[in-house]
Amino acid sequence: MYLKRVKYRNVLGELVFDGHYLYCEEIDCCGVGTIANTEQLINSHGTVTSSVCLAGRSVPCRFKLVDKDGDPYLRERVVRVLSPLIEGELEVQTELAAYTIKCRPTEMPVIRRTDVFYVWQWDTVFYADYPLWQRGSITHEADTVPYNDITVFSVSGVEIPLKLRFYSDVSLFFNKTQGSRMNLQNFPVGADWVEVNTKNLTVYDNNGTDRSNCIDPEYNIGSIRLLPGENVIYSTTSVIRMMWNDYSLGVI
């Protein structure tokens, strides 16, 4: 797959590896690991696997800096922006799409001069806690129809998170295809809506107030997902707005 550009940004600045001073020589955004919970049965051989989930992963990169003007501030900016303590976004642009990866460098870059005196090189390993890369910037939306089924289609090849915007505490969200459901146990006075983010595991109203207490404790926010392909969604009483992005396991 043809790599066009790599960009990394955080609160300290932005580095664009597009062939103008900065180059991305190598990057590995593919592959994924898993974490399994297992139990040892009493007086027996082997184990029983109770659950398996995707693990966070590393994204190793090799970068190059071409500095024919001898500007030391370029290297200083690289070191500052690639601080391992700051969370940022790595954007990988290919001929197919732009992929956004929330990650952070694992260590400070060690920039070394190559055999060509004005060319510098270093390796950076980014670590992403969330192993799915957001593909593109389009946000899909769909509204449920009270007491009726609707079908929404996910083009992602993996289960993906979404945002659910509730306008009432008596409306139940039910993904029949996945078998997951959720509703609010109360609706805050003065709010227009309450949004549940099943990726970040957050609950906020339109005023930016944390409304985690509105979620019925019996529901697991992180378990609400869209499956690949068609999903049959049912709701009661009032409309619930669904919002989601496309995700991918790997890029190049």
For the stretch 145-168, pLDDT in tens is 999 999 999 999 889 999 999 998
- Domain total in the chain: 2
- In this prediction, residue 62 carries a pLDDT of 96
Whether residue 174 lies inside any domain: the answer is yes
Whether residue 59 is found in the same domain as residue 115: yes
Residue predicted with more confidence, 233 or 130: 233
- In this prediction, residue 99 carries a pLDDT of 93
* pLDDT mean over 157-185: 91
**What predicted TM-score, i.e. pTM, was given to this entire model?**
0.83
Whether residue 106 is found in the same domain as residue 164: no
Torsion angles phi and psi, residue 221, rounded to 5: -60, -45
Instruction: Please state, in angstroms and as integers, the Cα–Cα distance from residue 69 to each residue in 5, 30, 119, 208, following that order.
Output: 23, 36, 11, 47
Whether residue 151 is found in the same domain as residue 92: no
Whether residue 123 is found in the same domain as residue 143: no
- In this prediction, residue 95 carries a pLDDT of 86
Whether residue 118 is found in the same domain as residue 215: no
Instruction: Please state, in angstroms and as integers, the Cα–Cα distance from residue 105 to each residue in 19, 32, 88, 187, 219, following that order.
Output: 21, 18, 9, 40, 34
Whether residue 94 lies inside any domain: the answer is yes
Final residue of a structural domain among 131, 151, 186: 131
Final residue of a structural domain among 62, 96, 131: 131
Whether residue 252 lies inside any domain: the answer is no
Q: Residue 31 pLDDT more than 80?
A: no
Q: Residue 252 pLDDT more than 70?
A: no
Whether residue 250 lies inside any domain: the answer is no
pLDDT, tens only, 71-86: 888 899 999 999 998 9
Whether residue 251 lies inside any domain: the answer is no
The domain that holds 17 is classified in CATH as 2.40.30.200
Whether residue 66 is found in the same domain as residue 114: yes
Final residue of a structural domain among 131, 161, 193: 131
- In this prediction, residue 103 carries a pLDDT of 95
Domain carrying residue 199: 139-245
Confidence of residue 1 (pLDDT cuts 50, 70, 90): low
Whether residue 143 is found in the same domain as residue 229: yes
Burial label, 98 (beta-carbon count in 10 A; 0-12, 13-18, 19+): middle
> To 5 degrees, how large is the angle CA 58–CA 60–CA 62?
165
Nearest to 75 by CA among 44, 107, 118, 34: 118
Percentage of the chain lying above the pLDDT 70 cut: 99
Whether residue 199 is found in the same domain as residue 119: no
Whether residue 161 is found in the same domain as residue 218: yes
Residue predicted with more confidence, 32 or 194: 194
Instruction: Please state, in angstroms and as integers, the Cα–Cα distance from residue 80 to each residue in 12, 36, 136, 159, following that order.
Output: 7, 37, 28, 36
* pLDDT mean over 175-187: 91
The domain that holds 189 is classified in CATH as 2.60.120.860
* pLDDT mean over 217-227: 88
Q: What mean pLDDT, rounded, does the chain reach?
A: 91
